[in-house]
Structure 1
Amino acid sequence: MSAEPLAALILAGGLSRRMGADKALLDLAGTPMLRHTWEIAQTLTPAVWVVTAWPERYQACLPASAQWILETAPLPNTPPSGPLVAFAQALPQVEADWVLLLPCDLPALRVEVLAQWQQALPQVPPGAIAYLPHQPQGWEPLCGFYRRTCLPNLQTYVATGGRSFQQWLAQQPVQAIPNVPAEMLVNCNTPADWARYRAQLPLQTPDNAG
């Protein structure tokens, strides 16, 4: 069976300590954030997986057809080891030339922007392992595309104790996505962040609530 051109992995394994509530289940205009992200990914590819240590927590907010990859902890009764390890655990289970990696907590994701990035993938240099936004503080590893061929290198890095996306990507050839809308990468980590973001959304009234 040939690989899909694109698959998507949505990471829903964070502990949301600073938020004080599960960010995947925060209400975004009547839709849980995880469902919002899943629906966007589904417009780009039918091959979408949610990567989480707690699938039972989220099954009610997604269709029965949703696909899951179980993130495992290094030891029983310990939390997962972070997004890089989750990615390394999930990537071998996906057959695709490119993988779109997303978190579940970017409320301003825009499907038309992701579609533009997807259309640019054939122009990414063959040696580049990823196509990612770049900011002054470094790469944005959780909103971009990875070639599946990065898997052996990723597994080696994780096996030697590596846990940092930034340190791993600093050792790799990565192509930067140009002209990334800054609002696409807005991340809400605290109740105050979430309140500020929601305050700028259009008010839901009976006329515009759908």
Structure 2
Amino acid sequence: MSEQSNESALAGIVMAGGQSVRMGSDKAALDWDGQPMLGRIVSVVGERCEQVFVVAAESSPAYRLLYGSGGPAARWVTDEVPDTGPLGALAAGLSAAGAAGAELAFVCATDMPLIGTELIDELVHGVTPSTDVVIAHDASRDHPLAGVYRTAVAPRLHELVAAGERRLLGALETVCTHRVTVSDLDWLTNVNAPEDVHRLRV
């Protein structure tokens, strides 16, 4: 599958429904170079993806603080099943992207301010006709929220959620998943607490 054909059918999904407990305030609204962190992520993802979806329940801090008031120009997906965690949010995002005509979707979290378009390119390059999911990997762990997913896996994920599954990695064991060691591990950096923000800005 060529890179051009992959990108022409590629959507972006940004997961923004977390409660940001360790940060103490909403990570999606955190100022990053003069814009909300979520806006920074959506901007980068939008350089490779024609459509960008932000998954956040209407009760989430991200939705309440940013939707319609300084938030990024993206399509908000708010119909995730309550209390199903990131897996339920991912299923909702993939369903929305698939309904919009995308065959593939780059998925990331809202707390990854160092991602670059090169990360998307490297993951897309790992897609083959037999692959359902391509996720980033480093020396110690997988990163399911830095990956390219076929939107066709959405029904399977919804089935798993309905059966009580909540683990992203557990769900990925049920589909054809390929792991890619990306060239710059800084792309995978998560901002979870105030000290993380200070460290990255020093």
Identify whether the pair has TM-score above 0.5, normalized to the shorter chain. Answer: yes
Give the 3-state SS of the residue equivalent to 2:24 in structure 1: coil
Take 1:72 and 1:90, find their aligned partners in 2: how far apart are those partners?
8
Structure of greater Rg: 1
- 1:37-66 alpha-carbon deviations (Å, 9 max, x no partner): 011111112211111113342122235x53
Contact 1:133–1:180, Cα closer than 8 Å, also in 2: no
2:149 maps to 146
| CA deviation after TM superposition for structure 1 residue 101, in Å | 0.8
Which amino acid in the other structure matches residue 70 of structure 1? T
Alignment of 1:1-210 (within 5 A): 5-54=9-58, 55-59=63-67, 60-62=69-71, 65-72=73-80, 74=82, 80-94=83-97, 95-118=101-124, 120=125, 124-199=127-202
- 1:145-198 alpha-carbon deviations (Å, 9 max, x no partner): 001121232122111100001111133321122333111111111111121111
The unaligned stretches of length 5 or more in structure 1 are: 75-79, 200-210
| CA deviation after TM superposition for structure 1 residue 36, in Å | 0.2
The unaligned stretches of length 5 or more in structure 2 are: 1-7
Which amino acid in the other structure matches residue 117 of structure 1? L
Between the aligned residues of both structures, percent identity stands at: 31
Contact 1:108–1:184, Cα closer than 8 Å, also in 2: yes
Contact 2:22–2:193, Cα closer than 8 Å, also in 1: yes
Contact 1:13–1:71, Cα closer than 8 Å, also in 2: no
Contact 2:10–2:104, Cα closer than 8 Å, also in 1: yes
Which amino acid in the other structure matches residue 82 of structure 1? G
Which amino acid in the other structure matches residue 62 of structure 1? G
Give the 3-state SS of the residue equivalent to 1:131 in structure 2: strand
Contact 1:33–1:107, Cα closer than 8 Å, also in 2: yes
Q: CA RMSD in A?
A: 1.9
- 1:17-41 alpha-carbon deviations (Å, 9 max, x no partner): 0110100011111121000001111
| CA deviation after TM superposition for structure 1 residue 136, in Å | 4.2
Contact 2:137–2:182, Cα closer than 8 Å, also in 1: no
